[in-house]
Structure 1
Amino acid sequence: MKENQAWSEYCKSLAPAIVEASAKVPVSGGPGALIKALGQALPDWKFRHAMSRGGWYRLGGIVSADGKRISDNLERWVESNLDERDGDMAHLIDDFAGQTLYATRLVGQTHYLVSHCGEGHADFLQLEIEDLQEIRAHQLFANDPSTIEDLIDPRTGNEQPLPVSLPHYAFRRVQHIGSFLQRMRAQRPEPAPIHRMVDDWGASSAGANSTFSNHWVVATREHLDRYHQPVFRAQPIATLAGTPPEFDAAPGTSGLALNEALTHFDREIGYPMAWYFHMLGTKAVPHWVAQVVIEDTMAGFAYLPQRDVEIVRNWLHRPYAL
């Protein structure tokens, strides 16, 4: 269906339907209602909810004390008004001393949805939908700001936040992760850590048991460097509910005791070799474990399949961090 169409262009063609579908779904319905709406809008794709990541905010606009909208863009409003006053912050403060204005923030979380679409472990569409709500934050000029940062995003003295709007879904992006990683790999002859992780997954017992997107999503970022060349970044995020389980083995543990700790960790996560990938991706497992696993193998205590042993040995010879 898409052999003659670049994935980036294809994903762009999906965006209007995603925007329309997500706009119709109330946030109160949860991810399940969102997935149902997406299934109706895009019947060729079976998205499933992988994880939600929250605790972030973006700067919003400006409202008056009675709720009147002054600006949709706080930063632009401040920069424009400062430019009119030749960058004089004291002049700006004096001019608005008689007005009660509040900055707003967009607080929310990102829902990651995935749909597998090929034989490779990176062959999946990843859809990011934001759950947003605008809130009234701090009162402008009340903290006698001396810098733009003090004015638009002070770290202390914020008012009790008040909702300005109802929560709503907003489309962020949809992308083919395999295509993104290929573009990223074309930048340098040496594979980045994310490439090695996906390759390790495919060659390990984890890959034989489950596909990569069942347990990880990929946070991507693209920007232009000072030479206006694209720079790509990709960071795997484990799709766990909460934090990884504690790895129950002290430094120096080996043999049967280490095997039991590895097995317990894998069972808690839900797939074989989870300890290795969480050693790389979440730091839940310390690096000394890889060294001792190979020492145990050399001593004849082989509790890992040979293909997994080779992956750990290769990592020790050429370690990488995510």
Structure 2
Amino acid sequence: MKIARHLLSILSIIPASHALSNDTHYPLTLTNCGMEISLPSAPQSTVTVGQSATEILYALGLAERVAGTSVWFTPVLPEFREINADIERLADNDPSFEAVVNRRPELVAAQYEWHVGPTGSVATREQFHELGIATYVMPADCDTKDNSTGGDGTRTAAFSPESVYKGIRELATIFDVQEAGNALVAELETREATAIAAAEALELPDDLSAVFWFSSPDRSAAPYVAGRLGAPGYMMDALGIRNVVESDEEWPTVGWESIARADPDIIVVARMDRRRFAADDIAEKLDFLHSDPVTREMSAVRNGRIIEMDAHAMSATMRTLVGLETLVDALPTLAFDR
């Protein structure tokens, strides 16, 4: 099931009066990630710093308002490949402040506060605001999350897709396309419910456990694995799978010896195009798991219970629902004889 394919069918059944009743009145003021922002009108030009914001704007039918994109982990969703090809990519990773400003955006939409936030690697929000450029940070990165702790932040409560839906609705309000926002949220909610129902029908073993491996600075380093309260934690909770990593950090580093002692039933590994670290390459991950004297003895490795997942689905984005579907599709193919 693809987002774009079903979006049009959902839009066709929403009464016109519903959309008209929710028209945006400008100037629009709202509080986003603890900061009040004001927009005099719907932005005509936007730069995205983060794949999540990019794909949401595409899904809302706003590609013509996107003047530049940046921070890509994986290829764009297939349904947006054609429109994305015509939009300038400022950088695969962090763009410079100057590169963003030179596109003369009215809005900068960011996925992570560590890119555009109090100590933003691209810029602070105040730096953009001083130039009359509004900023919006996806709520999934600040609701129930403390980004002042360094690294990838610490969750103060469990991630829920509701924070993704909130971001979709707020962006739809900013651009006055509430009808498209309601349709996209309805689509994702349906996919979420369908995946969870399918998992319940699988009759999986009790107390299944898993670890999600995003990347590592190098093969010998402790890996970045998913904490219990982030997007992978949500997926595991939704499917009744126990995370062997109990940290509240978004992506803590945990030694392989500790992971091997926990011996998770399933290892989920991130697949991405990004090449910031050696272990960004999934071939490196798989080779390490099968060749390292510690990891190759783990039951998940010996029994072939390794699942590949789109790296962006492991972040708190609308692709989290795609990740949920990936798990549900893969679980029936695994043997859980213990």
Same fold (TM over 0.5): no
When normalised by structure 1's length, the TM-score is 0.27
When normalised by structure 2's length, the TM-score is 0.26
Higher strand share: 1
- The structure whose Rg is larger is 1
